[in-house]
């Protein structure tokens, strides 16, 4: 009588373990990028209040605010789980000077890849006088839309690697 095979051979088990190892080697770094990107997104969500305050100030006074106090945000240090500070700064008190909102990442819970790094939201005006924003390494809005930051700004205030930024903030 012929004996039937019971269970898997050692080779079959080793192949399964190797496949699982390869999948894990690919998944773990991608998951870490995902979690860091989530931490960066927290800062962008917190900065929406700042964008609104700056836009309202610009609409009311015809220029950008010089700092948090002038924007009506007070002297408090704004922070969260992964954000240590958010600040507003403008180059000069005239109608064409651009403004920047700088998000600084820090704290005990933030990933070391972005600790003490900054992400800058650069604001300017379009041809109609409205406020437009560019984030991180993203260029100013395309000229064919009629929107361009006046004057154009560099990305010098952003130190976070592009892989961790949301797609809107990459070049």
User: Average pLDDT in the 127-137 region?
Assistant: 82
| Residue 156 confidence (pLDDT) above 80 | no
pLDDT at 104: 93
> What integer pLDDT is reported at residue 90 of this predicted model?
81
d(Cα 133, Cα 53) in Å, to the nearest integer? 13
Q: Is it the case that residue 21 has pLDDT exceeding 50?
A: yes
- Average pLDDT, integer, range 123-133: 80
Which of residues 54 and 141 earns the better pLDDT score? 54
Q: How far is CA 125 from CA 16, 57, 58, in A?
A: 58, 13, 9
- Could you read off the pLDDT of 36-77 as tens digits, one per residue? 999 999 999 999 999 999 999 988 988 888 888 888 888 777
Radius of gyration for the chain, computed over Cα atoms and rounded to the nearest angstrom: 24
| Interval 74-116: pLDDT, tens | 877 778 889 999 998 886 665 556 788 999 999 889 999 999 9
Q: How many CA atoms lie within 13 A of 73 on its CB side?
A: 26
CB 138 within 8 A of CB 110: no
Longest dimension (CA), the chain: 97
Q: For residue 155, what pLDDT is reported?
A: 59
Evaluate if residue 149 carries a pLDDT over 70: no
Four-way CATH pick for 10-169: 3.30.700.10, 3.40.50.720, 3.40.50.1950, 3.60.21.10: 3.30.700.10
pTM of the complete model: 0.78
Q: Where are the domains of the chain?
A: 10-169
Burial (0-12, 13-18, 19+ Cβ within 10 Å), 39: buried
């Amino acid at each position: 009588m012929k004996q039937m095979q019971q269970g898997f051979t050692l080779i079959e088990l080793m192949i399964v373990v190797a496949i699982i190892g390869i999948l894990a080697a690919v998944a773990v770094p991608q998951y870490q990028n995902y979690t860091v990107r989530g931490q960066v997104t927290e800062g962008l969500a917190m900065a929406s209040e700042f964008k609104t305050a700056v836009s309202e100030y610009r609409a009311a006074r015809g220029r950008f605010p010089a700092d948090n106090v002038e924007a009506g945000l007070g002297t408090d240090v704004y922070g969260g789980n992964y954000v240590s500070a958010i600040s507003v700064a403008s180059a000069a008190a005239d109608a064409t000077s651009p403004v920047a909102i700088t998000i600084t990442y820090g704290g005990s819970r933030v990933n070391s890849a972005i600790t003490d790094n900054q992400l800058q939201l650069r604001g300017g005006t379009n041809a109609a006088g409205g406020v437009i924003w560019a984030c991180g390494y993203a260029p100013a809005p395309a000229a064919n839309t009629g929107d361009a930051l006046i004057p154009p700004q560099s990305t010098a205030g952003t130190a976070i690697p592009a892989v961790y930024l949301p797609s809107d903030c990459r070049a």
